[in-house]
Chain A
Amino acid sequence: MKTTIHCEAENISVQLLGDLDTAAAQETEKAFQTLMAEKGKKISLDCSGLNYISSSGLRLFLSLLKSCKPNGNTLTIENLNDNIRKVFTMTGFSSLFDIK
């Protein structure tokens, strides 16, 4: 699992690559914590390279989303594959996130 963060003015683009399983979620959590510390930014998660996500990964997404409002950040999720989109639907995440 590889997480790459690009900062460009108020836009932050995060590229997720690989499987976000229970084990990977532990490493990814650190990268997400830096994002949660940002203020007044537009964060977009590019999931074109994300193959798989488990509930641990979903929890990270939810924690990040919860931190956005108080920090004046926005969060968009882009390029979800079909499998992950289905998981989002099952868990009711589709209605919480701004998915493009």
Chain B
Amino acid sequence: MTKNPLKKIDDILGANGIILIVVAAVLLVVIYLVQYKYAYEEINEDLRLRAQSELSAKSLTIQNIMNVVETAVCNHTDDVAGLLNQPDAMYGIAAKIVGMNAIITGSSISFIEDYYPERGKWFEVYAVRDSTGKIETMQLGSEQHDYFKREFFSLPVSTGKGCWTNPYLDSDGAKMMLTTYSEPVYDKDGKIIAVLDADISLDWLDDVLAVEYAYPSSYHILLSKTGQLMSVPDRNFLLKTIPDMEKAYGNEDFLTLNAGMLSGKSGQTVIRDKKGNKFLAFFMPVDKHTGWSIAIINSEKEIFGDFHKMRVTILWLSLAGLVILVLIIARAIRNIRKLEKVSAERERIRSELQIAAAIQMGMLPKGDSIEAAEEKIDVAAVLEPAKEVGGDLYDYFIKDHRLVFCIGDVSGKGVPASLFMAVARSLFRALAANTFAPGAIVSGMNNTLIEFNERDMFVTLFLGVLDLKTGRLDYCNAGHDAPLVLDAQGLAQLDVIPNLPLGVFPDFEFVPQKTQLGERAVMLLYTDGLTEAMDIHKEVFGEQRMLAGLKTLCSGNPDVAPRDLIAGIGRHIKSFVGKAEQSDDITMLAFKFQRSVQTIEKSMTLTNQVADIPQLNQFVEEACAGQHLGEGFIAELKLAIEEVVANVIHHAYDKHEKGEIGVNLKFRPEEVSVEIKDAGKAFDPTEIKEADTESSVEERRIGGLGLCLVRQLTDTMTYRREGNFNLLSLTKRRG
């Protein structure tokens, strides 16, 4: 599968995750850079201070040594000046200077040209320590050793001050590096007549400078005021210059170091070797007198070695942290997605449960009165599942002037119970369609439920068949709570044999029972969710509270309607339970028995001829006779029917068109209903305006009187068009 890698990252981390990681990475880089900068500066500053103090210490050591020599020379110029008349005494002075300090290898007193004419043009007394440590003296001046032009002589003579010569190599084969301090000697007249000097070996320089270095490859350079190297790791460059080294090494950075050192100031510069390795060079002047400059050179690699190691470690740690962060975020996002998926799934199940609840409720009959053919009975029911769907059931229907009803409770709650409930309800409908014997229906339900009962569920059920004409109640109980009967004798529990719940024992003999309900008796059936409803303290509603509640509902109203009874108990439970969660499904079913009177129906058909009207009136009179209707009632009904039929004759049919008009009368206990049916053109008499019943004789219109009468003589008048027929219904209430 080819997938854009960015898309993949986005899939794993999500937009927020990516932002988080980028921010974290930027933060890490910033922290790293800042840390780097400060650490670098810190180390650099530390190094500079160390270099400075080290260089100062070295300078001081060198100065101290040089000062000893300078002092020794200065202190003897007066001796020379005082003994000018004894040229041979000069040997003693020179030897004395050499003897004063081991660092002094030799000392000479050189006189200006022809100062002692008897001694020749050159006179230079020289004392030197030989290899055994004995001090020898000699006169060196000669044509071959013409010292007048030599620096040690010419410089103090020309400047009139003591000075150090540039370092030089001993010509006597020892190849010792030497330098000379020369001081002019003045005579009484203030004229320079000689130069007193002391040679010192510079071998000790290496010793002084070769103390412990800060880093293994660190080294010092000591440069004379003219730029000669006096101390350098590569001894081949002794007394050569830094530019010589630059030539040899091809390293231009040396020139800046050279310039810096010769400037007589302190400073810092960077030099690189051929490989590009960096070195930090710190330099400072030793003293003004010598004009020397000392430098210390450190390898950057060594200085920052630990720091670089630390830097790399930090970098790796940061990267590792970042990777861990990525993993954590990826994991968190995966968990969030899982959670989202789970909650979406939960939402789906919830909505499916809601649909299931709607379907389950849809199975149950609604309304508080049912009517089938001629029978009508007041029934009310309520089912409140504890969860979305429940295991309670009730059902009822009227067939052949009998009310067949049941109430039941499946063991358990929720979806499994609801499925079992649906099965039980279907079985009830299927079996009750064929028989009115409660025992047979219950046994049939029991055996079928057992056949398909994988989960060992069971249903408690009460099933009854009430003859609406006689009030005879045939019933069979299957482990359900006994229903309550409220009649003229008061409130009582129906006598029931418990039998067994359905789905427990195959081929169980369910014993049916029968009783007689009195006129206007109310029967209340319920499930144990009612009596076992719990309040927040887990106390149950109980039978006593239910009976007490019923008694208060019935007192003062013996003719309570089933709907009001159920609503009243519902209120009692609600106030008892309070804020506690509903623990079980609550179901109630109630009906009121009223002996049904058979509806008497009579009908006739007449032609659309006015001549048939007397026949119609005669039919109505005959039909009404014996229906316990008053003479006035019959006269009014007859007039209303005649007026409607006359209207149909005049308006629904054309003049010579032949047609029929059907008249049907239904005599019910409370009313008489009439239906007049014709096949004429659509004609709705209810749309005809009210007749004029108030204006004077002259203005009084003749039409509309008939409908005016119909409206006043009947209680309802409705029209409908059904296919090619006009159907007009009238009802007139008795009494």
Q: Which residues of A approach B to under 8 Å, CB–CB?
A: 19, 21-24, 26, 52, 54-56, 58-59, 62-63, 65-66, 69, 82-83, 86-87, 90-92, 96
Contacts and interface: CB of A to CB of B under 8 A. Distances in A.
A55 B697 contact: no
A26 B374 CA distance: 41
B532 interface: no
Interface string B679-695: 00000000000011110
A52 B634 CA distance: 11
Contacts of A54: 639, 642-643, 646, 706
B694 to A, nearest CB: 6
Given A90-B708, A92-B694, A96-B697, A59 B702 contact: yes
A24 B635 CA distance: 17
Nearest to B611: A23
16 contacts: A19-B614, A23-B613, A54-B643, A54-B646, A55-B643, A55-B646, A62-B700, A66-B697, A66-B698, A83-B632, A83-B636, A91-B691, A92-B693, A92-B694, A96-B697, A96-B700
A91 B707 CA distance: 10
Contacts of B617: 19, 21, 52
Given A66-B698, A91-B705, A92-B694, A52 B613 contact: no
Contacts of B636: 83
Contacts, number: 70
Contacts of B702: 59, 62-63
Nearest to A23: B613
Interface of B: 610-614, 617, 631-632, 635-636, 638-639, 642-643, 646, 649, 691-694, 696-698, 700, 702, 705-706, 708-709, 712-713
Nearest to B701: A62
A83 B635 contact: yes
Q: Is the interface of B mostly helix, strand, loop or mixed?
A: helix
Q: Which 10 A-B pairs have the closest CB atoms?
A: A92-B693, A55-B706, A55-B705, A23-B613, A83-B635, A22-B646, A22-B613, A90-B712, A23-B610, A59-B702
Nearest to B635: A83
A52 B642 CA distance: 11
Nearest to A93: B693
Contacts of B696: 96
Contacts of A52: 617, 635, 638-639
A23 B688 CA distance: 23
A69 B697 CA distance: 10
Contacts of A69: 697-698
A22 B700 contact: no
Contact of B639 (A23, A24, A62, A87): A87
Contacts of A90: 693, 708-709, 712-713
A22 B606 CA distance: 14
Contacts of B712: 90
Contacts of B649: 22
A88 to B, nearest CB: 10
A65 B698 CA distance: 9
Nearest to B646: A22
A39 B113 CA distance: 199
B692 to A, nearest CB: 8
A48 to B, nearest CB: 17
Contacts of A24: 614
Contact of A22 (B610, B632, B708): B610
A45 to B, nearest CB: 15
A55 B704 CA distance: 9
Contacts of B642: 21-22, 54
B441 to A, nearest CB: 55
B157 to A, nearest CB: 166
Nearest to A63: B702
B709 to A, nearest CB: 6
Given A22-B649, A59-B702, A86-B632, 16 more contacts: A19-B614, A21-B614, A21-B617, A22-B610, A52-B639, A54-B642, A55-B646, A55-B709, A56-B646, A58-B705, A59-B705, A66-B698, A66-B700, A69-B698, A82-B632, A87-B709
A59 B708 CA distance: 13
B705 to A, nearest CB: 4
Contacts of B631: 83
Nearest to A25: B610
A35 to B, nearest CB: 16
A16 B631 CA distance: 21
B632 to A, nearest CB: 6
Contacts of B611: 23
A69 B698 CA distance: 10
B632 A91 contact: no
B3 to A, nearest CB: 89
B614 A23 contact: yes
B637 to A, nearest CB: 12
B714 to A, nearest CB: 12
